[in-house]
Chain A
Amino acid sequence: MKIAVCIKQVPEGTKRIDRATMRLDRSGEGALNAFDAHAVEEALRVKDAAGGGEIVLVSMGPAKASDALRKALAMGADRSVLVTDDAAAGADLVGTSRVLASVLEREEADLVLFGQQAADADGAVLWSAVAERLRRPVISQVAELTVADGKARGKRQTEFGYDVIEAPLPAVVAVSDAINEPRYPSLKGIMGAKSKPQETLTLADLGVEAGAKTEVLALSDPPPRGDTTKIEDDGTAAAQIVEFLIEKRLL
C-alpha cells in the first residue's frame, strides 16, 4: 500500500500580511499545518491496517518547508519530496495543483491524502483540482476512512448530514480534522527523521510550470461591521432582538 500525503507549510505565530508583496508574510518559521497532521496520522493508520506499505510526503514551498516535512517524518512517514523553486512563489490553485499532480504521477500512489484546509489561505479546495489532473476519483471532508479490498470508503459530513462514498483505488481523499487525533512523535521518531530520504526537486526537474491564473490586486481594511446597536434591557430587550433578527432575515 503506497500512500502519498500532501503537506503545506504554515507560518508560525500570529499571522501577518506583508503589505509590500501583499502576500502572507512567511518570514517567521514554519510549522506542520494542523490539518495536514490529521492526514499524516490517517496515512499511518491506513498503512498499519494494510499490514505495511510506504508513506511519502509531497509538498511545494520554500526550502523552509522541510521543517514541516521533518515533523511529519518524525510521526512515522517514510520519505518526503519537496518541490522548491523561486519560480513557484505565488502559485495559486491552478499552478500548485499542476505541480503536485506531476510529483504524484511519478509516485503512483494507491491513495493520496490531503488535510482539510490550509490554515493560512482558508482555501478548502486543493484536492479536487489535483484529483482532476490525476484523473482519479476524489472523496472530501472525510471523517471516517476505511481502505480495504482495493477500495476507499469515506464517511463525510456535508451541510445536510453524513454521506458514505466509495471509490476504487487509486483515489484521492481529503480528511477533515474530526477524523483522528494526530500522534505525538516519539523522541526516537524525531531523531530518526533526519536520516529519512528527503528529496528536493525544482520545476525543471519535473518539466512543469507553476504560475497563477489569479492575482492579488490590493489590500484594504475590512468594511466596518455596519451599525452596531447597544441597548440596556428595560424589559423589552428580547423583543428588540427578535425585531433585529427579523430585519436581518435571520428569523
Chain B
Amino acid sequence: MTRPADYPAPFSVDEAVGPPTDSPDERIDVGVLIVGAGPAGLACAIRLGQLLEEAPEVRGRLGEVPVAVLEKGKQPGSHLLSGAAVNPRGLRRLFRGRKQLEELPLLGPVEGESVYFLTAGSAFRIPAPPTMKNEGNYVASLSQLGRWLAEQAEEGGSMILPETAATKLLVEQGRVVGVRTGDKGRGRNDEPLPNFEPGSDLVARVTVLAEGTQGHLTGAAIERFGLAGDNPQVWALGVKEIWRVAKPLDRVIHTMGWPLRGGARYREFGGSFIYPMGEDHVALGMVVGLDYRDAELSVHDVLQELKTHRLMRKILEGGERVEWGAKTIPEGGFLALPKQLHAPGLLLCGDGVGMVNVPALKGIHYAIESGRLAAETAFEALQRGRTAATPGALASYDRAVRDSYIWRDLEQVRNMRPAFSRGFWVGGALAGMMTATRGKLPPFTFRTERDADVELIVTDRAKRYPAPDGKLTFDKLSSVFLSGNKTRDDQPDHIRIQRKVPNELAELWVRMCPAQVYEVGVADGEGTVEVEVNPSKCVQCGAITAKGGRLTPPEGGSGPEYQRT
C-alpha cells in the first residue's frame, strides 16, 4: 500500500541552515529578530517594546533597529487564519495595565454555544465536552487582530518588515546569529529577472522563530539542533469561509460526525465550527486531521458538502460568501512538542512548535503567552555583561514555558488527539475518560504517527461532493480568488515534491490541496503518473509538508491576502 512517506520531498535541511554569506559590512544588524508577524511574534515584539521603554540603556545598545519582525505576507494578517474563539488570557496579560480588553478589535464575547453530532439528514445536539467550552472567550478575526497587534508593536518601537521571507537560518559556530531573507525577482527557472534583488543576511543578538504552522526555519532548527521530541508532529487542515448573512447568529456552533466518516478504517478526525462575527457575518470552517487515509478526501469539498446540511443552510440563507482561506493546524499537542524550545541564540514560539490545545481548538493565547515569555528571556539575555550566545543563556525560556499554563493545559489533554486514531467512537470514549480524570487516565501515553506514514486507501468519496453551484457551494479556483491570492506567475516553484509517483499518491495531493495546485499529468502505464504543479495558486496552508512534500517560502508578498479570516 502506498504511503506518502515512501516518496519523500527533494529537500534537505542544509538548504535552510548555514553561515552568513554576505560580507560583514553588507549584513544588516538588528537587536532582536522575530520571524513571523503572527500572534506569537507580535506579542514578543510588543513585550520587548514595553521592557525596552523602561530600559533605555539596553535599548541604546541594540543599535538603530532594536526589534525587527519579518513577515512573508503582503502585510501582517495576510497569512493569518483561524476560527477564532480566543481565550483572552494571553491578551490580558500582555496588555496588563496598559489596555482594556474592550479596546482590542475582538468581535464580542461568546454568548452561547451548541455542539451537534450530524448525520446527513439530522443534527443531534450533544452537551459540549468540557474541554470545548467557550465561556469567557471572544470571537475574533485573527487576520484583523494581527494587523492591530502589528500597529501596537510599531508604536512600541518595533520595525515590521512585510513581504520579506526568511529562507535560511544563519548559524555560525553552533549558534544562531540571524536569518537570510529571500531573493526577489527570480523567474520560473530561478533565473534572475531584470529587477532581481538578492536577499540579505540579517544578524541579531537573539532570533525568535514565530513562523506558525509548518514553520520553515523552525523545522530546520529542530532538526539541526536535535530538539525533536519523542513523537512526530501531526497536522490537521482547516478550510474556512466568511459569509455575510441575513440573520445574525447568536452562538458558536461546533459539529462532529457527518460529512466525516467515523470508522477506524478512515481515520477522519475533525469537525466544523461556525462562529458569529458581529451582527452580519459568520465564519465557518471544516478541520480534518491529515492522518486521513482516503486519497479522495478533500477538506474543501467536505466543507462544501457540510453547507448543504439543513442546519447550515438555515444559517447561510440569503447570505453571500465574501472570503475563503485554508491553513494547517499542528495537532500533536504536548506529545509532539520539541524537547527543548531554545538553542544558542534562538527561541521557538507558538504554532511553529505546536502549542495547540486540540480538544479545545485553542492556540492563539498560547502563542501570545509564549511570545511574551520569549521577550522576557531575550531581554534578560541582553542585559549588560550577558550574551545570548552563551549556551544556556536562553534556558530560562524553557523553564518559564514549563511553569506556565501553556505546559499545564497541554499536558492535561495530551492523549486526546492520538486517541482518535482509533476512530471516533473509541476515541470519544477515551476522550471522555481523560476529561473526567483531568488527564490522569488512561495511564499510558499514546504515540503520534506521522501523517505521511499513513497508508492510503481509495474509495469513491469524491462522488458525493456537491457540484459547485456558485451560490452555496464553490469550486476551488473561485475560492482561491477570494483569498486575495494574486501571486506572480513567473516565480520559481516553491513546492518540493517528487514528480513521478503512484496514481493514488498523486490523487491524494490533488484532492488534499484546497487551492488546486496539483494536477495529475501523464501516466506512464505502469501505475505511476507525472504530477503537475501550479505554484502561483498556493495559499501556503502547509498541507503538502504533512503528506510527503515540502512547502518552502515563495517570494515575499506572495500568497493569500486575508482580510478577515
Q: Nearest Cβ distance between residue B382 and chain A, in whole angstroms?
A: 20
B159 contacts A184, C-beta separation under 8 Å: no
Q: Is the C-beta of B200 less than 8 angstroms from some C-beta in chain A?
A: yes
B184 contacts A184, C-beta separation under 8 Å: yes
Per DSSP, chain A at the interface is loop
Which segment of A124-132, A185-193, A224-232 sits at the interface?
A185-193
Q: Nearest Cβ distance between residue B419 and chain A, in whole angstroms?
A: 40
Task: List residues of chain A with CB within 8 A of the CB of B159.
Answer: 191, 194
Q: Which residue of B lies closest to A28 (CB)?
A: B563
Q: What is the number of residues of chain A that contact chain B, defined by CB distance less than 8 Å?
A: 17
Q: A187 touches which one: B74, B75, B164, B193 (CB < 8 A)?
A: B164
Task: List residues of chain B with CB within 8 A of the CB of A184.
Answer: 184-185, 195, 197
Q: Nearest Cβ distance between residue A72 and chain B, in whole angstroms?
A: 14
A13 contacts B484, C-beta separation under 8 Å: yes
Bound form: Cα–Cα A89–B193 in Å: 40
Q: B199 touches which one: A31, A182, A187 (CB < 8 A)?
A: A187
| Most interface-central of B65, B68, B181, B184 (chain A CB within 10 A) | B184
Q: Nearest Cβ distance between residue B465 and chain A, in whole angstroms?
A: 25
A29 contacts B147, C-beta separation under 8 Å: yes
Task: List residues of chain B with CB within 8 A of the CB of A187.
Answer: 28, 161, 164, 181, 199-200, 202
Q: Is the C-beta of A199 less than 8 angstroms from some C-beta in chain B?
A: no
Task: List residues of chain B with CB within 8 A of the CB of A107.
Answer: none
Q: Is the C-beta of A183 less than 8 angstroms from some C-beta in chain B?
A: yes
Q: Is the C-beta of B561 less than 8 angstroms from some C-beta in chain A?
A: yes
Q: Is the C-beta of A14 less than 8 angstroms from some C-beta in chain B?
A: yes
B161 contacts A13, C-beta separation under 8 Å: no
- Give B172-188 as 1s and 0s: 1 = Cβ < 8 Å from A's Cβ atoms: 00000000010011000
Q: Is the C-beta of B123 less than 8 angstroms from some C-beta in chain A?
A: no
- Among A175-234, those with CB < 8 Å from B are 181-188, 190-191, 194
Q: Is the C-beta of A108 less than 8 angstroms from some C-beta in chain B?
A: no
A188 contacts B197, C-beta separation under 8 Å: no
Bound form: Cα–Cα A187–B166 in Å: 12
- Give B530-565 as 1s and 0s: 1 = Cβ < 8 Å from A's Cβ atoms: 000000000000000000000000000000010100
A181 contacts B199, C-beta separation under 8 Å: no
Q: Which residue of B lies closest to A16 (CB)?
A: B322
Q: Is the C-beta of B194 less than 8 angstroms from some C-beta in chain A?
A: yes
B197 contacts A186, C-beta separation under 8 Å: yes
Q: Is the C-beta of A18 less than 8 angstroms from some C-beta in chain B?
A: no
Q: Is the C-beta of A12 less than 8 angstroms from some C-beta in chain B?
A: yes
Q: Which residue of A lies closest to B181 (CB)?
A: A187
B200 contacts A181, C-beta separation under 8 Å: no
Q: Nearest Cβ distance between residue B69 and chain A, in whole angstroms?
A: 12
Q: Which residue of B lies closest to A71 (CB)?
A: B163
Q: What is the number of residues of chain B that contact chain A, defined by CB distance less than 8 Å?
A: 24
A13 contacts B195, C-beta separation under 8 Å: no
Task: List residues of chain A with CB within 8 A of the CB of B74.
Answer: 12, 31
Q: Nearest Cβ distance between residue B9 and chain A, in whole angstroms?
A: 28
Task: List residues of chain B with CB within 8 A of the CB of A14.
Answer: 481-482, 484
| Most interface-central of A182, A185, A186, A194 (chain B CB within 10 A) | A186
A12 contacts B200, C-beta separation under 8 Å: no
Task: List residues of chain A with CB within 8 A of the CB of B184.
Answer: 184
- Give A1-34 as 1s and 0s: 1 = Cβ < 8 Å from B's Cβ atoms: 0000000000011100000000000001101000
Bound form: Cα–Cα A28–B74 in Å: 13
Q: Nearest Cβ distance between residue A16 and chain B, in whole angstroms?
A: 8
* Known contacts A187-B28, A191-B65; A181 and B195 CB within 8 A of each other: yes
Bound form: Cα–Cα A194–B157 in Å: 12
Q: Nearest Cβ distance between residue A41 and chain B, in whole angstroms?
A: 8
Bound form: Cα–Cα A29–B164 in Å: 18
Task: List residues of chain A with CB within 8 A of the CB of B197.
Answer: 183-186
- Among B166-222, those with CB < 8 Å from A are 181, 184-185, 193-195, 197, 199-200, 202
Q: Which residue of A lies closest to B555 (CB)?
A: A184
A12 contacts B561, C-beta separation under 8 Å: yes
Q: Nearest Cβ distance between residue A236 and chain B, in whole angstroms?
A: 31
Q: Which residue of A lies closest to B561 (CB)?
A: A13
Q: Nearest Cβ distance between residue B182 and chain A, in whole angstroms?
A: 10
| Most interface-central of B193, B200, B563 (chain A CB within 10 A) | B563
| Most interface-central of A28, A181, A187 (chain B CB within 10 A) | A187
Task: List residues of chain B with CB within 8 A of the CB of A13.
Answer: 484, 561, 563
Q: Nearest Cβ distance between residue B383 and chain A, in whole angstroms?
A: 25
Task: List residues of chain A with CB within 8 A of the CB of B164.
Answer: 187, 190
A191 contacts B161, C-beta separation under 8 Å: yes
Given contact pairs A28-B563, A187-B161, a sample of 17 additional A-B residue pairs in the complex whose CB atoms are under 8 Å apart: A12-B563, A14-B481, A14-B484, A29-B75, A181-B193, A182-B195, A184-B184, A184-B185, A185-B197, A186-B200, A187-B202, A188-B28, A188-B200, A191-B28, A191-B65, A191-B159, A194-B159
Closest 10 CB pairs of A and B: A184-B197, A184-B184, A187-B200, A13-B484, A181-B195, A183-B195, A13-B561, A13-B563, A181-B194, A184-B185
